[in-house]
C-alpha cells in the first residue's frame, strides 16, 4: 500500500492491493489550448457559447494540484487538437518526466471529425493512447 510522506495510508481501502499499485494510475485532461476563444469568431455547431471556451488557467491550477496532492500519479496526458503544442507557461524540461502533450486528433479514425471541442469523441478515443495505463482518471477543466 502506498504511504504518503509522514506514514499515512493515502489510499487505504480504495484500491485492492492485489489488483493495482497507485504508481500505475495515469491522468488524462482534454485541453482546448491557451487562446481565449471568446475573442474569436468560432463557426462551429458544437460551440454552445464562446464563454465555454474562455481560458481561466484551469490547466495550470489542475497540474499544480496534481503535483502537490497526488504525487503517486504515474503520468499526465494532456490531449489537444492538432498541432500538439505545450502551454507556454509550462517548463518542458522539467515537465516531460511526468507530462505528455498529445495530439488527440491522431486517434480519430475519421480525421474529418477533428479538431473538435466536443469532449465525447475525445473520451471515446483515450484508450488508444499506447502508453496509457489500464487504470486512468479523466479530469475536466470545464466549469
**What pLDDT, on the 0 to 100 scale, is given for residue 18?**
53
Q: How far apart are CA 126 and CA 143, in angstroms?
A: 21
Q: How far apart are the first and last CA of the chain?
A: 34
Q: Is the pLDDT of residue 8 over 50?
A: no
Q: Is the pLDDT of residue 19 over 90?
A: no
CA-based torsion, 107, 113, 115, 121: positive or negative: negative
Residues 61-102: pLDDT tens digits?
Answer: 999 999 999 988 999 999 998 888 898 999 888 888 899 999
Q: Is the pLDDT of residue 49 over 70?
A: no
Residues 105-128: pLDDT tens digits?
Answer: 999 998 888 888 888 999 999 999
Q: Which pairs with CB-CB distance under 8 Å and at least 24 residues apart come from 86-95? A: 87/34, 87/59, 87/60, 88/34, 89/60, 90/60, 90/63
32: pLDDT confidence band, cut at 50, 70 and 90?
confident
35 to 15, 54, 57, 68: CA distances (angstroms): 38, 8, 11, 26
Are the CB atoms for 136 and 66 separated by under 8 Å? no
Cβ-based neighbours of 95, under 8 Å, separated by 6 or more: 86
Are the CB atoms for 38 and 51 separated by under 8 Å? yes
Amino acid at each position: 500500500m502506498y504511504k504518503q510522506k509522514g506514514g499515512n495510508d493515502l489510499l487505504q481501502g480504495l484500491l485492492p492491493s492485489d489488483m493495482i499499485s497507485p504508481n500505475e494510475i495515469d491522468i488524462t485532461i482534454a485541453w482546448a489550448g491557451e487562446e481565449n476563444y471568446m475573442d474569436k469568431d468560432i463557426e462551429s455547431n458544437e460551440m454552445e457559447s464562446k464563454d465555454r471556451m474562455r481560458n481561466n488557467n484551469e490547466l495550470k491550477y489542475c497540474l499544480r494540484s496534481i503535483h502537490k496532492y497526488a504525487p503517486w500519479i504515474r503520468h499526465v496526458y494532456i490531449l489537444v487538437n492538432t498541432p500538439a503544442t505545450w502551454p507556454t507557461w509550462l517548463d518542458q524540461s522539467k515537465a516531460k518526466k511526468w507530462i505528455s502533450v498529445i495530439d488527440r486528433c491522431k486517434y480519430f479514425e475519421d480525421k474529418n471529425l477533428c479538431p473538435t471541442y466536443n469532449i465525447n469523441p475525445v473520451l471515446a478515443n483515450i484508450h488508444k493512447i499506447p502508453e496509457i495505463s489500464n487504470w486512468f482518471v479523466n479530469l475536466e477543466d470545464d466549469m
